[in-house]
Chain A
C-alpha cells in the first residue's frame, strides 16, 4: 500500500476483561457482523478500516488481544506504539468494571504517554441486567480523564460513533502535536519496521 491511500494511520488497541465484547466491537465495526464466529479470528492480527473524517482519509488499524487477557497475560509489546486504547467493560458485569484500575496500571506502565484512552461500557442492549450505573462509570472516566461511551456490539449502538469519535480525537491530537513540535522533546520510538528499514537501505 502506498502512503497516498490515506492521510492518517492510527493504531487502536482494545483491552479489558475477557468476555466484555471486545472482539464483537471490532467485528461489528469492521465487518458489520454479530456475533462473529469464534474460530474466525484465528490468525487475524488486526483489522483495518479506512474512514472518512471531514474529507480526510483515516486508516484505523484495530488490534485485538488474541485472547491473552483471559489469564492476565497480555504482552507489553501489545501496548507499544498504540495511538489509542479502548478500555472495555461489560455493564452487566460488576467484576469487569472493578478490574478497570488494574488495566489502567498496565496502560500507565506500558503504553505511550500520549495515548488517547476511551472507556467503553458494552452490552447496553441488556439494560435489564445492568450492574454498573452509567453515572458511576462516567465519574470514574472523568476522574481518569478518559472519554466515556456506552455501546452495544449486538445492536450496533454507538459502535460507529466510538471509532469515529476516536478518529476525530486522534486527528485533533495529531494536528496539535504538529503545532507543538517545535519543542525539543525526542520523538517517541523513532523506530522503523523492518520492511521500512529495508526499503530505506542503501543496498
Chain B
C-alpha cells in the first residue's frame, strides 16, 4: 500500500501508545484537539501490551537481539531561524531485561507427530512427569535456543545475576543431548505440547504487565465516565487466594464468604466482621498506631494468626512494616471496591489488559485522531527564545508542527528526565500451567493470589491466575502472572515462588500441584518515579512513564489527567462520548422523520436519567 503522507500540522503529537499516552490522546481528541498518535513498534500499548503466544515469542526475540544503534540522521537542514534540535532515543531497550524462557513440556504432541508439520527443529524433548530424579533446570530449558540467550551483564538493580546465568546456560546443554527420557509411566492426563501451544498461539493474550482493575478505582471510573468502557468487556475476579503454610487457601471476602467459610471458627468470623466494620471509620485507637507498623495494630486487635494473615497480606496487601495509616487506607479501599460488581474488589478485561490502552486509542480515532504504528519521531525542534517545542521531525524526515508533545519516557535520554529515585525494576514471570492452583468445581475462576515473602528479605509476590474464558489462554491451560518489586533479577525473585506453588523439574516431588508447561521471566523498569515534566526539556513536552508495580492503574490515570490539565487547563477531562444508540434509523431504509424524532427524544431522556445517576 502506498504510504500516505501525514498531515504536517497538529495540535498535539503523542509518541508511544502506553496507557497514560493513550488516555491523554483520547482526552485531547475528545475535546476537539487535532491529535497525531505514533508508536515506533508494530503493536499498540508499548510495555502495557498483550501478545498471542507467537507474538510473545517474537517480542522475546526482539529483546534479545542486540539493539543496533540506529544511525542518528542529521536533520539540521530542517532547522529554521532560532531553532535547535533535541534528539530522541532511537530505542528503548533499557526498560526490559533479564529475559529467560523455559519450556517444561514436550516439543511435540506424541500422536500428532506423524502428520504434523512442525517447523524444522526436530529436537526431541520428552519431559513427561516420569523424567528421572536428576532433572535440573538446565536440562529442561526452552528448546528454542535463540529465545534463551542470556545477556548476563544485564541484570536488575545491581544484582550479580547468579541464577539468571545458570539458567541461561540451559539451551546449549539441551540442544546437545536430544531426548532420552521417553515417558515411562503414562501420565493420566496428556500434557499439552509446545507444538500445541504454538498452534493454538492466537488463543493467548499474554500481558506484559499484571494488574487488576479496582472496581472503584480511577481506571474503572474513567472508563465509565468517558464511555470508553463500550469497547471492552470485563470479567469479575472471582477469588482472592493466599499462599500460607505450604497451601493455597481462599480468603473470605464478602460477608457471605465470611459466613460460609470453613477455615474460620465462629469466633474468628465475629472478630473479622467486627474488625472490618470498625476499620471503616477512623478511631482514636487507630490513630495511636499512626507511624507504627500495621502488623502491630493488627496484633493489638488480638485477631489471631489466620485473620492477621488475611488482613495484612490479602486484604490490605501490604508488608509487615507498612505503617498503620497506610494499611488501613488500603483495607478501606479494598472494602469500598467489594461488592460493586462481584464478590471481590477486582475486574479483569476479557482479552487482557493490553485492550485498555487500545480502547482509549479507538476513542481518540473516533474523534479524529490519526494513528500510525511503525512510525517514530526522531527529534524535536525547539524555539530557543520561548523554550517550546514547535515541531517534531518524524522517522521519514517530515516536519510536523505541534503545540504540545507527549512522549513515553523511554524515548527520552536519561539525563533529561526528572527521576525521583534511581530506576527501580519490577520482576515479572508468566507461566502457562495445566491446572488451577486451587482446583474447585468451576474452571471459570479468575483468581488473585497473594504470596507473602517466603523468606526474610524476599519480596511479597502478587499472582493472578487467568482461566481460558478470560480469553487469555487456550483451553486446558491457565495463564499465571507473577509480579513483585525487584529485589534481584526476576528469576531470583520469582522462581522460588514458582517452585513452591507449581510442579516443575525443580520441584518434581510436587506432582499434586499444577505443572508449568512454559514460562518466561523478565524485569521491567518501574514507571513509578518519573515526573511528567522533564529536566532540560521544553515546557510543552510531557513524559509518560511505563507501568508501575502497583496492582491498580491509578498511577497512569493520574499522570494522564495531570498532563491533560497542563495542556488544556480549561477543558473537561474525558466527558462522556455521545451514545451511538441516539442515531436510529428505521427498518426498511425509508426513514420516517417524525417517528425518528420521537425516538430520539425518548432516548435523550433515557440518557439524561442515566447520567444523573
Contacts and interface: CB of A to CB of B under 8 A. Distances in A.
Contacts of A185: 475
Given A46-B580, A47-B583, A193 B1 contact: no
B585 interface: yes
B341 A198 contact: yes
Interface string B337-353: 00111110001011100
Contacts of A99: 1
Contacts of A31: 585, 591
A61 B579 CA distance: 12
Contacts of A101: none
Nearest to A17: B1
B581 A48 contact: yes
A190 B350 contact: yes
A70 interface: yes
Interface in A1-44: 1, 17-18, 29-32, 42-44
Contact of A30 (B373, B444, B585): B585
Contacts of A109: 52, 202
Interface in B14-39: none
A78 interface: yes
Given A73-B372, A75-B361, A201-B341, A190 B355 contact: no
A106 to B, nearest CB: 11
Contacts of A189: 233, 350, 469, 471
A71 B36 CA distance: 12
Given A66-B362, A160-B589, A191-B235, A42 B341 contact: no
B231 A77 contact: yes
Contacts of B590: 32
A188 B471 contact: yes
A13 to B, nearest CB: 12
Contacts of A54: none
Interface in A42-100: 42-52, 61, 66-68, 70-73, 75-78, 80-81, 95, 99
Interface stretch (B108-116, B222-230, B241-249, B522-530): B222-230
Interface stretch (B289-297, B363-371, B403-411, B513-521): B363-371
B177 to A, nearest CB: 36
Interface residues of B, number: 63
B585 A42 contact: no
Contact of A50 (B234, B375, B475, B587): B587
B491 interface: no
A42 B355 contact: no
Interface in A94-133: 95, 99, 108-110
B604 to A, nearest CB: 13
B202 A75 contact: no
B367 A76 contact: no
A187 interface: yes
Contact of B585 (A18, A45, A49, A203): A49
A72 B347 CA distance: 31
Nearest to A42: B368
Given A31-B585, A77-B355, A186-B475, A194 B469 contact: no
A18 B370 CA distance: 13
Interface in A132-183: 160
B341 A48 contact: no
B288 interface: no
A188 to B, nearest CB: 7
Nearest to A75: B358
> Which secondary structure characterizes the binding site on chain A?
loop
Nearest to B234: A191
B220 interface: yes
B362 A75 contact: yes
B4 interface: yes
Contacts of B375: 71
A45 B359 CA distance: 12
A58 to B, nearest CB: 9
B609 interface: no
B358 A77 contact: yes
B376 interface: no
B88 to A, nearest CB: 20
Nearest to B236: A197
Interface residues of A, number: 55
Q: Which of A52, A61, A68, A109 has the most CB of B within 10 A?
A: A68
Contacts of A46: 580
Nearest to B232: A77
Interface string B545-560: 0000000000000000
Contacts of B2: 95
Nearest to A160: B589
Contacts of B72: none
A48 B231 contact: no
Interface string B586-601: 1111110000000000
Given A109-B52, A192-B233, A186 B1 contact: no
A71 B7 CA distance: 12
Contacts of B370: 67, 70-71
B578 interface: yes
Contacts of A203: 339-340
A198 B367 CA distance: 27
A200 B339 CA distance: 11
Contacts of B229: 193-195
A76 B358 contact: yes
Nearest to A189: B350
A73 B586 CA distance: 33
Contacts of B224: 194-195
Nearest to B579: A45
B44 A76 contact: yes
Contacts of B587: 49-52
B568 interface: no
Q: Which of A47, A61, A189 has the most CB of B within 10 A?
A: A189
Contact of B1 (A47, A77, A95, A200): A95
B276 interface: no
Given A30-B585, A45-B577, A75-B361, A191 B373 contact: no
B372 A77 contact: no
Contacts of B217: none
Given A67-B365, A77-B355, A95-B2, A72 B580 contact: no
B471 A52 contact: no
Interface string B314-352: 000000000000000000000000011111000101110
Contacts of A29: 589
Contacts of A198: 340-341
A81 B354 CA distance: 16
Contact of B44 (A47, A75, A200, A202): A75
Contacts of A71: 4, 6, 370-373, 375
A46 B371 CA distance: 18
Nearest to A95: B1
Contacts of B469: 186-187, 189-190
7 contacts: A48-B585, A70-B4, A75-B362, A109-B52, A109-B202, A193-B229, A193-B234
Interface of B: 1-2, 4, 6, 44, 52, 202, 220, 223-224, 229-236, 339-343, 347, 349-351, 354-355, 358-359, 361-362, 365-368, 370-375, 444, 468-471, 475, 577-578, 580-581, 583-591, 606
Closest 4 A-B residue pairs measured CB to CB? A191-B233, A191-B350, A66-B365, A75-B358
